[in-house]
Structure 1
Amino acid sequence: MGHTDRSAVGEVRRELREFLGHRSGRERIEEAELLLSELVTNALIHTRHGAVVTATVHPGKLRVEVRDFMSGLPGPYVPNADDGTHGRGLILVRSLADTWGVETQVLGKVVWFELNIGKP
């Protein structure tokens, strides 16, 4: 995905929805889509070098990784009341994901989350 093509966010959401369609309940799929959107949008806005998305399912668990190609880890951010929606992506990830983290790479970093999934 290129940094100027934020329409790609909708495309990766659709692909994740299709991937999870028979593997999880609707609520978890919607949470996964939201978290994916936040991480991809952050990568496109803040790195300007695109991103690579990987989703894997292991028994009962979804792992989504968003890799960018800029060094530096995301810093903690505390949005103020006047910020609108800016800066809340990692707060959502922290709140909704069962686990999440950031791993440095030789070139760039991977921000990931995991959700426990299963059919209701």
Structure 2
Amino acid sequence: MSDYFDRQHDKAYTRVYKEQTPDILATWNDFNSAVFAKEGRALELKQRELLAVAVAITTQCVYCIDAHSQAAVRAGATEAELAETAWVATALRAGGGFAHGRLAFKLGEEAHRH
């Protein structure tokens, strides 16, 4: 996906959402603004942005990694916090591989029985 990432020009394609589904885009923007509001939430903005970075790394969305890493730094995140966030995401992805490996063993075992 990162081969297609073009920070400067990709946003131009938002016009399709604006033209084709403006109501959904408006709802999405309102939702996103509420989730990342500077105040009024139990978690500080920096914490929410670091969570977003971890999820973005896990889902491997380069657009989200770009936006939320920058937003996290603007909210006060340090390089050390970004590094730990990346390691948390890495651990979760590895854990998913471990758990799904067990599922492969289970399904393979079932194939022997049939």
- Shorter-chain TM-score above 0.5: no
Q: Which has the greater radius of gyration?
A: 2
Larger RCO: 1 or 2 (CA < 8 Å, sep 6+): 1
Return the TM-score normalized by structure 1.
0.24
Larger relative helix fraction: 2
